[in-house]
């Protein structure tokens, strides 16, 4: 009888251990291992060609050149017959419009050529194409709780991320495949109580120097579900 009681106790202890829900940090680590198994993101040097389509604008093609070890960024944007080159080198910015330096402040303003915006765009591309690895950056507040949710027709682990105010003010939710830990979708709020912000649906994957990154991102508003546009990664080198 004592032996049976002991075996039952071992069973329940073992079951309890293995049935504990995974912590957020563990899911994030597994997702990073899926997307960047060799840890290459932080030394990435290469180009991303992105086509952006939206209901109220013409097709925009952006060639994004990144050199993370040297902290350099350059974009070459082609839209409506114009070619805009923006360079960001450790916070210093340079521009050209159709091969020439902007001839006036008004022309630069027309095309949004200022260092604040270029810095924002650089951070935008680094953040989105560096996920989920970027969730290890300083200032990221990964909440320990994990929700297992049904969303957009699938079952996912959902992780919540807030940021140190010096980094950002938005709240993000990230949705991970419950089997492979692939990052499948994400959404953000400026003020969650207002249901503002957007959600982003990811589709397909692109191999990039040993990493797996999303090929397509489709953007929608959280409140109304209005389609905003799609970014498609059409080439990498």
In this predicted structure, what is the pLDDT of residue 7? 43
The Cα 44–Cα 40 span in angstroms is: 6
State residue 237's pLDDT score: 84
Contact 174, 157 (CB under 8 A): no
Q: Which residues lie below 8 Å from residue 108, measured CB to CB, with a gap of 6+? A: 95, 102, 114
CA 74 to chain CA mean position, Å:
19
Checking if the pLDDT of 6 tops 50, the result is no
List residues bridging with 207 in a β-sheet.
Answer: 212
Please state, in angstroms and rounded to a whole number, the distance separating the CA atoms of residues 39 and 42: 7
Residues with Cβ within 8 Å of 112's Cβ and at least 6 positions away in sequence, in order, are none
% of the chain beyond a pLDDT of 90: 82
The CATH architecture assigned to 23-236 reads Clam (2.50)
pLDDT for the residue 73: 97
What secondary structure does DSSP assign to 152-179, as a single string? TTEEEEEEEEEE-TTT---EEEEEEETT
Which one, of 206, 236, 231, 198, lies nearest residue 54 by Cα?
231
Is 116's pLDDT higher than 50?
Answer: yes
Pairing of β 140-142 and β 92-97: unpaired
Task: Name which residue leads in pLDDT, 167 or 141.
Answer: 141
Structural domain boundaries in the chain:
23-236
pTM of the model: 0.88
Is the preceding omega at residue 145 within 30 degrees of 0, hence cis?
no
Number of CB atoms found within 10 A of residue 141's CB: 11
């Amino acid at each position: 009888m004592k032996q049976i009681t002991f075996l039952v106790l071992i069973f329940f202890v073992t079951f309890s251990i293995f049935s504990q829900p995974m912590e957020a940090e563990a899911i994030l680590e597994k997702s990073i291992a899926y997307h960047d198994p060799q840890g290459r993101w932080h030394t990435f040097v290469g180009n991303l060609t992105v086509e952006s389509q939206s209901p109220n604008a013409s097709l925009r093609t952006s060639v994004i050149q990144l050199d993370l070890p040297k902290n350099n960024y350059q974009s070459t944007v082609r839209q409506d017959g114009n070619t805009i080159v923006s360079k960001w080198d450790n916070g210093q910015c340079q521009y050209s419009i159709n091969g020439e330096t902007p001839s006036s402040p008004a022309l630069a303003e027309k095309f949004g050529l200022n260092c604040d915006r270029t810095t924002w765009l650089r951070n935008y591309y680094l953040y989105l194409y560096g996920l989920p690895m970027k969730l290890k950056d300083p200032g990221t507040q990964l909440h320990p709780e994990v929700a297992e949710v049904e969303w957009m027709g699938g079952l996912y682990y959902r992780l919540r991320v807030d940021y140190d105010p010096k980094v950002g003010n938005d709240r993000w939710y990230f949705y991970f495949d419950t089997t492979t830990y692939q990052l499948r979708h994400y959404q953000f709020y400026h003020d969650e109580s207002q249901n503002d912000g957007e959600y982003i649906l990811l589709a397909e994957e692109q191999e990039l120097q040993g990493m797996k990154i999303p090929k397509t991102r489709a953007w929608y508003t959280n409140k109304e579900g209005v389609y905003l546009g799609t970014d498609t990664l059409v080439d990498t080198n």
